[in-house]
Amino acid sequence: MDKKKLLELIAKKEARKAALDTKSSTCEDVTELRSMNNELTDLNGEIAELRSIIATIEDPPQPGTEPEKRGSTQQPVGGFKPLGTFNVTPSSEQRGIDKVLAMSVSSEEEKAEMRSALFACEEYRSGYLKNLAGKGLNDVEKRALSTAAGSGGAAVPTTTYDLILKRLTQTSAIFGLIKKSYIPGNVALPVADPQVAAGWTDSAPAALMSGTTEDDTIGSVTLGAFPLSKFAAVKGQLLIMAIDAFETYIVSAIADQLAIALENSILNGTGLNQPSGILTGVTWNTKNSLTFAKSGLGYDDLVDTRALLGLYRSNAVWIVNNNTEAQLFKIKTTQGQPLFTQNPITGLISNPLGIPYIVDYYLPDDTILCANLDYYYMNINQNPIITADDSAGFLSTSRIYRGTMFLDAKPALNQAFVKLTKSST
């Protein structure tokens, strides 16, 4: 097959990818989203393989031109370089890694800045990804990786990290809405619970001057670091793909499954070797939980649930699963008409009671959450780590990859979450 036909085939597959991306931006069905993600993964692998084939096909020489002579050391006009270094990059154009290695590292802050710059440079990225794919590294790439190993350990390049976070946000319905921080080590994050409005004065309240406060409280949430890992097998023939395509493929293979585990833990995490979820980590009582009749969900139930959220209603969302969403659709007026109108394009109800809603597979049946997810805190302890092993996939000519994130998360304020469940009586 010639190069032109291969490019046409790639264009068709890219068009299909674009159509799936457009469709996924409005799709809320978890099963359909997973199907689309699987198809996108297959398309990425096929496109990468086609590009690898194209890379081996040399372009025919243009009419009227002479092929380039290898090893030519023709001296440029006006230049005199007696050592024969005519094709060497001028010293003023340093590689990214050279600039990184020239940075001062006399303080901990400067060391952290150097590591950040190292992970962002192109030489480190190409070396890291080539190493994962089992390919040979040039001297510059080896130096970038050895520098990282000697300054605290290697981590995924910045661009790869950004792709992972983007993929997590696209795959998880909730991950993009919670409050995230990226601080190494165990942390205690402040949590503000504002209850008193500002006063029209430039003097401190008398209560504050006497050493007490009013109703404002500043609490904290302590977060550690639990490992979350995904193992993925990559067939040998896919390892020859171009670096950019390999990066996209491995990110989707690992990040999609990490996102699913994160989604489940945000709602149902036990807090034992994993984050504390909303359902398990919030203290539920009459101030933040209600029940609806066994006969069915009603409009008044939703109104009462929203009312309990109080000051935290701003930025709140409803969270339901597929079956509970169907119960929302079934709420009718006294004339028998659906109370909530369905958007003809997305198929969703347009913001019940002015609050948007999310359909989440991991929420139990007959349970509705009305939550301000700004008060669910997650700290990602360090950049994700991706490692490879050939021995586990020896019999299937595969290379096994493990993607690991270290993080912790938990709800920070009980009042910011309200639960509505079906009565058992």
Question: β-strands 289-292, 367-371: how paired?
Answer: unpaired
pLDDT higher than 60, residue 66: no
Of 227-236, 313-322, 346-355, 375-384, the least confident: 346-355
Q: What percent of the chain has pLDDT over 70?
A: 75
Q: For residues 70 and 341, which has the higher predicted lDDT (pLDDT)?
A: 341
How many Cα neighbours within 13 Å face the side chain of 185?
A: 2
More confident residue, 395 or 129: 129
Cα dihedral 165, 252, 405, 238 in deg (nearest 10): -140
Residue 413 to residue 374: CA distance in whole angstroms: 10
Are residues 374 and 197 in contact, defined by beta-carbon separation less than 8 angstroms?
A: no
Provide the 8-state DSSP code for 391.
G
User: Helix, strand, coil: what percent of the chain each, to 5?
Assistant: 45, 20, 35
Q: Where are the alpha helices (DSSP H) in 56-121?
A: 96-101, 108-120
Q: Which range is least confidently modeled, 73-77, 133-137, 308-312, 331-335?
A: 73-77
pLDDT for 273 equals 92
Domain segments of the chain as ranges: 3-21+30-50, 96-154, 170-196+214-425
CB-based contact 416:374 (threshold 8 Å)? yes
Section 290-307 average pLDDT? 94
3-state secondary structure of 6: helix
> Given this structure, which CATH class describes domain 170-196+214-425?
alpha beta
pLDDT band at 186 (very low <50, low <70, confident <90, very high): confident
Confidence of residue 90 (pLDDT cuts 50, 70, 90): very low
| C-alpha to C-alpha distance for 32 and 30, rounded to whole angstroms | 6
Output the average pLDDT for the chain.
80
Which band of pLDDT confidence, cut at 50, 70 and 90, is reported for residue 30?
low
* 332-371 per-position pLDDT tens digit: 888 888 888 777 776 666 788 889 999 999 999 999 999 9
Residue 83 corresponds to which tokens in the numbers above?
């050592």
